Amino acid sequence: MFGNDWDEILQDEMQKPYFLELMANLESEYKEHTVYPPKELLFTALKHTPYSETRVVILGQDPYHGAGQAHGLSFSVNPGVRIPPSLRNIYTELSDDIGVPIPNHGSLLRWAEQGVLMLNSVLTVREGEPNSHKGLGWETFTDTIMKKLNERTTPMVFILWGSHSQKKGAFIDQSRHEVIQSPHPSPLSSYRGFFGSRPFSKVNQFLESKGMKGIDWFISDI
């Protein structure tokens, strides 16, 4: 399904009754409603960032609910799609934090390919209805992903923006892994502590302190 080591790690989870029920419910949802992301992009994050190569998790809530926005990576949009406000704020903080220029597009694929798992807690949403797939079963699945990552002996960084993501911090052994928390980058909360939180430099400080290479956060224009 994923084409990497997530297949084996999540194999048992995907045979559980709740997951089979989730998949059946999604079939109906995709038939009866407009659902994002498109079905073939559902697991983009897991496909691009193998378990063994994950160094950072950036956890979102649920996908963008506008046409053409969600493509399976949290906070990211494909090139050519207008950059959403939350991502614009992420780019502003990125530039203020480490001085890289703000790119002219919203694709975060370059981060994913360096081991940054761009995961949402809930992987689908109905068009124009934020949180419409809350409680469908995705939370159990993504809780398992977080727990499996926490089991790794290699230290990694979890970036949890906003109270919804921070609830998943309960699964993380902070004696081994680093947790970076702040308010959400949404315009509703970005001025309450997201701006100035410097998550990108903090990630690299931690990784380098453990003898690992930092993330190259620079995203080139297209």
- Tell me the pLDDT tens digit for each residue of 48-90: 999 999 999 999 999 999 999 999 999 999 999 999 999 999 9
Q: pLDDT tier at 194 (50, 70, 90 boundaries)?
A: very high
Residue 204, domain extent? 6-209
The average pLDDT across 20-30 equals: 98
Catalytic residue among 12, 62, 143, 173: 62
Mean pLDDT over all residues of the chain?
Answer: 98
Question: pLDDT over 70 for what percent of the chain?
Answer: 100
Rounded to two decimals, the pTM is 0.98
Give a yes or no: residue 214 inside a domain: no
C-alpha angle 92-97-99 in degrees, rounded to nearest 5: 80
pLDDT value of position 58: 98
Supply 178's token pair. 């680093």
Q: What pLDDT, on the 0 to 100 scale, is given for residue 177?
A: 98
Distance CA 217, CA 146 (A): 23
CATH code, domain with 21 = 3.40.470.10
Is 62 catalytic? The answer is yes
Is cis: bond before 37, omega within 30 of 0? yes
Residue 114 backbone dihedrals phi, psi, to 5 degrees: -100, 5
Residue 219 in domain: no
Residue 52 belongs to a domain: yes
Instruction: Decide if 111 contacts 7 (C-beta within 8 A).
Output: no
79, part of any domain: yes
Tokens of 189: 């909360």
Q: Which of 176, 120, 170 is nearest to 152 (CA)?
A: 176
Phi and psi at residue 56, to the nearest 5°: -140, 145
| 3-state secondary structure at position 164 | helix
Structural domain includes residue 41: yes
Amino acid at 187: P
Counted domains in the chain: 1
Which tens digits make up the pLDDT trace of 37-52? 999 999 999 999 999 9
Identity of the amino acid at 16? K
Give the pLDDT score at 196: 98
On whether residue 217 sits in a domain, the answer given is: no
- Pairing mode of beta strands 157-161, 178-182: parallel
pLDDT digits (tens, 9 = 90+) for 163-193: 989 999 999 999 999 999 999 999 999 999 9
Tokens of 90: 């992420």
| Per-residue pLDDT at 16 | 99
* 193 found inside a domain: yes
Residue 215 lies in a domain: no
